[in-house]
Amino acid sequence: MKRSEFALAVEQEFGPGYGEVVVNDVVLVGLGNRTAREALAAGAAPRDVWFALCEATDVPEARRHGVGRPDPGERASR
């Protein structure tokens, strides 16, 4: 997962406004008690951050895989 795919996945799951709040405020215990933004800045893989964020926010398993990719023929917005 690329960072642009992470950003798209967050936006698709949480919405553009609340997604920013989740990335900036939810502490991810499994990633050293850092927020998603801090974990990414420290070099954590976007995929690992995505799964930790999903775990922390109770995103159903069915919506954790394959997200963040633009529809075929579309470019990612980030």
Separation of alpha carbons 25 and 6, rounded Å: 16
Q: What element of type H or E holds 28?
A: strand 27-28
CB contact at 8 A, 40 and 3: yes
Quote the pLDDT of residue 75: 53
Quote the pLDDT of residue 61: 87
Other CB atoms within 10 Å distance of the CB of residue 38: 17
pLDDT tens track for 11-58: 999 998 999 999 999 999 999 999 999 999 999 999 999 999 999 999
